[in-house]
Structure 1
Amino acid sequence: MDKPQPVSRLDTTVQGLVGLGVERVDGPAKVSGQAIYAAEYRVDDVAYGVLVGAGIGKGKVVSVDVDAVKGLPGVIDVVTDYDTFIRVSQQGGETEAPTQGVKDIEYFGEIVAIVLGDTYEAARDAAIRLPIEYDTGAGVFAFSMDAERDGDLPENNTPAQSAQGDIDAAMDAAPVTVDVTYTTPSQNSAAMEPHASLAMWDGDGALTLYGAYQMPTSDAQQLAKSLGVAASKVRIVSRFIGGGFGSKLGIAPESVAAAVAAKRLGRPVKAVMMRQQVFDVTVRRSNTSQRMRLGAGTDGRLVAIGHETTASNLDTEDYFEPAGISTHFLYAGENRKVSHDLVRVNWLLSGSMRAPGEAVGLIALECAMDELAEKLGIDPIELRLLNEPAEDPEKKVPFSSRSLKAALTQGAERFGWSKRQPAGARREGDWLIGMGVASAARANTLMKSSAKVALHPDGTATVSSAMTDIGTGSYTILTQIAADMLGLPLDRIRMELGDTNHVPAAGSGGSWGAASAGSAVYLAAQTIRQKLAKAMDVDEEELTLKDGQAIARNRSVPIGSLTEGEPIEATGTIDKGKQEELFNQASYGAHFAEVGVNVVTGEIRVRRMLGVFGAGRILNQQTARSQCLGGMTFGIGAALHEELIHDERTGKIVNRDLAEYHIPVNADVPDLDVVFLPERDIHANPIHAKGIGEVGICGAAGAVANAVYNATGIRVRDFPITLDKLMPHLPQE
């Protein structure tokens, strides 16, 4: 993508399917149980594997008493491959093997063995009984800001350290300042489907793994490197995924364990994590401590922005939660500092969870902006509008498109922001009522992806790619693009996704899936259009494709008849290019929330929320809205509910199931309102779309937190905001 694409063929196709709220084409298969997920494939002679996690938080495995359980009914074997088994899940997009070697224990629950049985129940029983002897070592099981910090970190979506101007001097000179620290806890993705792998080897030493993975192309390379085999010998099939939110970006321990066990046994092995193991050994969003410094003139214009984050991870891992990623460009201000440090702890790996960085970083930034607005005595929206930058304030490049101002102003009118009262002023019986706002921003990126399109003589088309659908709507969106470009009804497009036997794709993650894979389908279909025009002996601009007919020069023929009996095939490939360097590309939005806080119980209820977003061309109104609804729900959870708790004696996650790890349920989520602003981004890709999957969470928790403050006058900086943090300060009358 080296040049802008001012003209998109999607604007001139006549069917107009792209942009409509088309219902999910995979919906009937899902609701009828015909959509097969990783753990549901039926194969002959399968053995069931149950993972065994370490019972200590730091130390070494001395011995595993395999003989103690091998004689139990239905037990086949116990496999312990200390060198090959992976210690932690891999980060998304990496192609090297994750950290391997599990004899040295780095965190509680680390997978050290897999027990195999003829039935799942037999394997589970033996796994529970398996005796393991450890040599316990001294670990770091609590997060402390007094601990030594590691700031020498590699780039991770954003530089770990950056500075511009002199923030210290600017803060000293600024007439109005805020210098506060916000803390957020560890979180779990809590996807509905647990991690699962079904591994089988063929006689040629090739592995097929049916897995719940978001990025099969890179995941297959990770798996091959872990097993010491050629990448060409590994196939991953991941056709349907029951949610991932980042936890399935890279391979997890069950994949390697199942593959090693299958090779050892010479028969297929299925390994499905128990819910507790999903919490114990996949990936967590890091906890953070974020120091926010804002300095402004009396007119409200920022002169200093500081966002210094301390997160946590294992000693052997360099991933850091990039909480300041949007702070680089969201507001103007000439003196800036954004930094990230790590404290090393013996906790589960921290890695990407939905909107890594922005989801928690915009809690701190947007709450700090509200605190500054209060000190200045101006409206929080006015403060944000005053600090709208004309260009990227650090890179000094233009924005490709930016709808933040429109989102704030139009959202304010729709939400009734003018009725907002001062903090603590609005009361209805026992309920204090408040409104809050927060900006949303999520960097947009394009990732190398391919798609193959085949037009068949019967007038149907097949689209194939290693691209996945984790519940976001990929099957539907790509069907719409192909149907519009080829002039075919939706039911004449067949989608084949999530298989590394197909052309490679970046997969689902980072909000790049729809635009990247969609652009690949677009380019492949564009090539087929050119071939069809040649077959009709006309210029492509003269050709109209509609309802299965090719129309040009007063002639109309079935599209399939132009194939001359053989499929017309084309592969489209898109990749990032100079446009990403020449322009700052991001999706934007604004969240508005109204909450009620009960003065007697401290209970917090979100009464209503509005999200207004600009994300380029909206490919499907229904699936895009669903993504934003999900993101806003995540925001409610981050603000009020979600918190992983670690036992400070062992590092063990205490609340490791969906009963005790609190996520929003129906009663916590009101009727959410979502609005999309008309926008096209000609610098992003040829279909003019930008990421929507994660911008819905960005800033959502900040809006809820700001509403709680407006309702009560109580500023809580330690998340989640629970009633115990409010009750001592609530009115007693």
Structure 2
Amino acid sequence: MSAIGAPINRTDGWAKVSGAARYSAEHFPPQMAHAVMVTSTIPAGRIKRIEADAECPGVLLVMTHENAPPLPPGMKAGKLQPPIGRVLSLLQDDAVHYNNQPIAVVVADTPEHAREAAARLHVEYETAPAILTFEQARQHTYPPDKVLGESADTRRGDFEAGMLAGSVQLDATYVTPYETHNPIEPHATVAAWDGEHLTLYDSTQYIKGVQSIVSTILGIRQEQVTVLCPFTGGGFGCKGSVWSHVVLAAMAAKQVGRPVKLVLDRNQMFGPVGGRPITEQRMRLSAMADGRLTASGHDVIAYTSMIEDWIEPCALVTRMMYESPAQQTSHRLARMNLGTPTFMRAPGEATGSFALEAAMDELAYELGIDPIEMRLRNYTERDPQKQLPYSSKSLRECYQLGADRFGWSRRNPAPRSMREGDKLVGWGMATATYPTHRMAASATVVMHPDGHVLARSATQDLGTGTYTVMTQVAADAVGVPVEHARFELGDSRMPEAPVSGGSMTVASVSSAVHAAGQALRLKLIGIAAADALSPLRGVQPDDVDAADGWLSMRSDPQRRERMSSIVKRHGGPVEANAKAEPGSESEQYSMHSFGAVFVEVHVDETLCEIRVPRVVGVYGVGKLINAKTGRSQLMGGIVWGLGMALLEETVFDERVGRAVNGNLAEYHVPVNADIGNIDVLVVDEEDPHVNPLGAKGIGEIGITGVAAAVANAVWHATGKRVRDLPITLDTLL
């Protein structure tokens, strides 16, 4: 019986609930010192003077631009391996480009002494003019070079003629705010030198990237850096890049000759480590009276920093979602004196689907067509931009199953027509989608004489269940019970693996684990076939089954042997390695996951308070490796989507560019009391093209479409269309 797909409990669950799981800040090398990163309090200018308080006890180092070790030429700002690499603030000059930019590191013998000395650091600035409002920034825009490898702008057909050809046109602008990552675990790094070798305990989504980028910046060989991250306390994109604090911790540890721990304050999550940028998206749609689109346009303006270009790829979703004979999309950047944006769960698709799916809803209402029917009339089995068929697409089933489960047929389409007591009731829906990515990965799988299997790869577990699903894959590939298999990760000395981002860890790493497991099985068959003492001597590999730790002949099931017996006679562990990488599939198919989200909102008619009592999400995501952890992932994405729709927004003081809600008391995220019933379903979907297991990533699709579904439900409840996120009660008053 296959372990793949089974809803087994997390293999790392006990370690987490018992406290045995150690996160980056919980490592304590001998003689470890403590560092506090000091950040700027102006948005633009330069540092005139930094002076430490000589009376602060326990201080080992105050590292500033005046005494920081010089980096090799070309490495002063980082920016390696784009788009993962960032322009960093490594104390190589006195320039200030945004408020909360790293400008110093204070190292002391205790956390309290480091914090006190950092607070008493005196800094004098020479200020310069700054752009601190999006309205000001958007007056001067420019196109990025590329958008995730694609052209910034696209055009097909005659867009102007297509807009004129429709019976109904929509021209509307949708705005999303700056959002900040707030995982439970903030960024943390412990840096320890042993001679010329550096060990980093780093909270990251990409241990091999940290190893490569840090070694290059410091001018040492890659093998001189070991990165360890057995557990990551949430990443969601912000930990996919190497930020300034990682390199600064290594520099400080080298200076003081002791291991150094540097943990960001919660407030320091707001700026130095990215966030989702402000976007303004203009949607133009035109359709015939029957709902068929004649043209679609999606023009994006997103903010970026003064030091680096970063684009939120919002319009990519419009390029592939619906059939449209004429289309025009564009992306533009607007510079602001804020920190550089970065990946945030479903970058582009989360924000872009809000604009597209809200616009489709508006157009459906104008035409008097049911929102699901509107989408079905523009349904396509081919990617209109790439002109390739989808590797698999179960979106029709998602619409149907979701509508039935939600009770969509009972919906009165007229706004303000449904009530429950003194609450206005609204029902809304939207389409969800996210591309399927895969990169090269390697793995090793070993069987020990006791029959237990150990698989390894230098990947990460962000809390998503990687330990568990890889254990299932390894057990299935070798042919042993799940309880006899174990997966290890989080060590850069293990076989190569890509970043845990873009929803591609399972697709990439499981392919390698599966290949290594099958290679180990074949190796055991070969050993048995050549062993005179084995009942399987002389057997042909294609005549052997592997299950429950046994190898047996298909043609003569009585001839069988335990794998552990083969390993013991062989004299020790048997190991196999494999590398799995994508082929030419992406040139033949467009690969995406799809889904449908249905939301019910209750709006207090007097106070305009919005509640979401229930959500139904239905998804086609290929083969689900673990039904339990997969459902949790999709639920988590929906919860974040509700936060995006109703709560999340970083508010900046427009005078100085500082986040005024830079903490979890004022930066609102959903809590248990905010969440009603979430019903998640996954349709059966076979996709032989995406990877050997047919598994599509699920880490990000759950958030897509949710904000639009909430906005559409709010419109249905109140008759008021809100196009700016988050939707707060004041926007409805």
Settle same-fold status: TM greater than 0.5.
Answer: yes
CA contact (8 A) 1:154 1:318 kept: no
Q: In structure 2, the residue corresponding to 1:500 is in which secondary structure?
A: coil
Classify the secondary structure of the residue corresponding to 1:76.
strand
The residue aligned with 1:560 is 564
- How far the C-alpha of 1:318 sits from its partner, in A, is 1.8
Q: 1:91, 1:250 within 8 Å by CA — same for their partners in 2?
A: no
Query: In the TM superposition, what are the counterparts of 1:188-203 in structure 2 within 5 Å?
Result: 188-203=180-195
**Partner of residue 483 from structure 1, selected from 475, 481, 485:** 475
- Write the deviation string for residues 591-641 of structure 1: whole angstroms up to 9, x where unpaired: 000000001111000010000000100000111101111100011011100
Deviations 1:466-487 (A, max 9, x none): 1100000000000001111112
Letter in 2 for 1:597: V
Percent identity (aligned): 43
The aligned residue for residue 535 of structure 2 is: none
SS of the aligned residue for 2:458 comes to: coil
**Aligned partners of 2:46, 2:86: CA distance in 1, in Å?**
25
Q: Identify the residue that residue 9 of structure 2 maps to in structure 1.
A: 23
* Structure 2 counterpart of 1:525, from 517, 539, 545: 517
How many Å apart are 1:490 and its aligned residue? 2.1
**Residue number in structure 2 paired with 1:252:** 243
Contact 2:442 2:512 in 1 (8 A): yes
Aligned to 1:176: 168
CA contact (8 A) 1:466 1:507 kept: no
Following the alignment from structure 2 to structure 1, what is the Cα–Cα distance between the partners of residues 721 and 730?
13
**TM-score normalised by the chain length of structure 1:** 0.94
Shift, 1:708, TM fit: 0.6
> What's the counterpart of residue 604 of structure 1?
610
Q: Is the Cα–Cα contact under 8 Å of residues 175 and 279 in structure 2 kept in the other structure?
A: yes
SS in 2 for 1:696: helix
Alpha-carbon distance in structure 1 between the residues aligned to 2:148 and 2:156: 19
2:611 aligned with 1:573: no
Partner of residue 286 from structure 2, selected from 295, 309, 319: 295
Q: Aligned equivalents of 1:186 and 1:95: distance in 2?
A: 21
Choose from 451, 462, 466 the match for 2:458: 466
Matched letter for residue 116 of structure 1: V
Report the CA distance between 1:574 and its aligned residue: 1.7
- Alpha-carbon distance between aligned partners in 1 of 2:612 and 2:359, rounded to the nearest angstrom: 21
State yes or no: 1:78 paired with 2:62: yes
> Bigger shift: 168-177 or 234-243?
168-177
Which of these residues, 253, 256, 262, is aligned with residue 265 of structure 1?
256
Contact 2:381/2:393 (<8 A) preserved: no
Give the whole-Å Cα distance in 2 for the aligned partners of 1:613 and 1:450: 29
Report the secondary structure of 2:270's partner residue: helix
CA deviation string 1:568-589 (max 9, x = no partner): 2122212222101210000000
The one-letter code of the counterpart of 1:231 is: Q
Q: Which among 305, 309, 333 is matched to residue 318 of structure 1?
A: 309
Tell me the distance in 2 between the aligned counterparts of 1:463 and 1:249: 24
1:20 maps to a residue whose letter is A
Q: What amino acid is aligned across from residue 618 of structure 2 in structure 1?
A: V
Aligned partner of 2:25 among 39, 61, 80: 39
Q: Which residue of 1 aligns with 2:545?
A: 544
Contact 2:165 2:288 in 1 (8 A): no
Please give the alpha-carbon distance, in whole angstroms, between the structure 1 residues aligned to 2:483 and 2:104: 47
Q: Is the 1:89–1:283 Cα contact (8 Å) retained in structure 2?
A: no
Deviations 1:399-439 (A, max 9, x none): 10011111111110111000111211112232000100000
Partners of 2:705 and 2:270 lie apart in 1 by: 25
Give the RMSD, CA atoms, in angstroms.
1.7
Letter in 1 for 2:3: L
Post-superposition shift, 1:155? 3.3
On the 8 A contact 2:186/2:264 being kept in 1, the answer is yes
The change in CA–CA distance for 1:262 and 1:99 in structure 2 (over 3 A counts) is closer
One of 419, 431, 441 as aligned partner of 1:439 = 431
Deviations 1:138-173, CA, capped at 9 Å, x for gaps: 111111265110114233254321111121221122
Provide closer, same or farther for how the CA distance between residues 667 and 102 of structure 1 changes in structure 2, counting only shifts above 3 A.
Answer: farther
| Structure 2: 5+ residue stretches without partners | 530-538
Contact 1:304 1:334 in 2 (8 A): yes
Distance 1:719 1:60, change over 3 A: same
Work out whether 1:135 is the aligned partner of 2:152.
no
Using the TM superposition, name which of 79-88 and 328-337 deviates more.
Answer: 79-88
How far has the Cα of 1:561 moved from its partner? 2.0
Task: Say whether residues 1:219 and 2:210 are aligned partners.
Answer: yes
1:648 aligned to which of 646, 654, 661: 654
Report the Cα offset of residue 113 of structure 1.
0.8
Compared CA separation, residues 273 and 96, structure 1 to 2 (3 A): closer
Show the counterpart of 2:692: 686
Distance 2:615 2:586 in 1: 33
Question: Secondary structure of the equivalent of 1:514?
Answer: helix
Asked if 1:408 corresponds to 2:399, the answer is yes
304 and 88 in structure 1: CA distance in 2 versus 1, 3 angstrom threshold = farther
Residue matched to 2:711: 705
Equivalence for 1:12: none
Q: 1:633 aligns with which of 612, 633, 639?
A: 639
Residue 94 (str. 1) matches residue 94 (str. 2): no
Give runs of aligned pairs for residues 392-403 of structure 1, distance below 5 A: 392-403=383-394
Question: Structure 1 residues 92 and 30, CA, compared in 2 at 3 Å: closer, same or farther?
Answer: farther
Rounded Cα–Cα distance in structure 2 between residues aligned with 1:528 and 1:218: 28
* Structure 1 residues 465 and 312, CA gap change in structure 2 (3 angstroms): same
Q: 1:53-105 CA deviation, whole Å, 9 max, x = no partner?
A: 01111011122113x24x31222221124665977998876368756545211
Give the partner amino acid of 1:94. I
Aligned-partner Cα distance in 2 for 1:89–1:658: 30
Distance (whole Å) between structure 2 residues aligned to residue 146 and residue 288 of structure 1: 10
Counterparts in 2 of 1:700 and 1:86: CA distance versus 1, 3 Å: farther
- Answer yes or no: is the 8 Å Cα contact 1:90–1:98 preserved in 2: no
| Shift in alpha-carbon separation, 1:615–1:708, aligned structure 2, 3 A | same
User: Residue 514 of structure 1 is aligned with which of 506, 526, 529?
Assistant: 506
Output the CA distance in 2 between the equivalents of 1:506 and 1:397.
Answer: 26
Moved over 3 A (4+): 81-102
C-alpha contact 1:87 1:253 (8 A) present in aligned 2: no
- Distance in 2 separating the partners of 1:28 and 1:335: 55
Instruction: Supply the distance in 1 between the matched residues of 2:287 and 2:485 (Cα, whole angstroms).
Output: 56
Deviates more, 1:385-394 or 1:670-679: 385-394
**What SS does the aligned partner of 2:283 have?**
strand
* Whole-angstrom CA distance in 1 between matches of 2:217 and 2:241: 12
* CA distance in 1: counterparts of 2:100 and 2:230, whole angstroms: 29
Q: Which amino acid aligns with 1:287?
A: I
Aligned residues: 710
Match of 2:45 in 1: 59
Shift of 1:447: 0.9
- Name the counterpart of 1:9: none
Aligned AA (2:34): Y
Contact 2:357–2:708 (Cα < 8 Å) also in 1: yes
Matched, 1:665 2:671: yes
Residue 619 in 1 paired to residue 620 in 2? no
Contact 2:594 2:621 in 1 (8 A): yes
Alignment pair present for 1:386 and 2:377: yes
Give the distance between the partners of 1:88 and 1:133, measured in 2 at CA: 26
Partners of 2:47 and 2:96 within 8 A in 1 = yes
| CA distance in 1: counterparts of 2:603 and 2:140, whole angstroms | 39
In structure 1, the gaps of 5 or more residues are 1-14, 728-733
Distance 1:339 1:297 in 2: 24
What is aligned with 1:721? 727
Of stretches 118-127 and 313-322 in structure 1, the one that deviates more from structure 2 is: 313-322
Q: Distance in 1 between matches of 2:94 and 2:317?
A: 40
CA distance in 2, matches of 1:376, 1:93: 42
Which secondary structure state, in structure 1, belongs to the residue aligned with residue 617 of structure 2? strand
Aligned amino acid, residue 567 of structure 1: P
| Deviations 1:247-272 (CA, angstroms, capped at 9, x unpaired) | 10011222111100100111100001
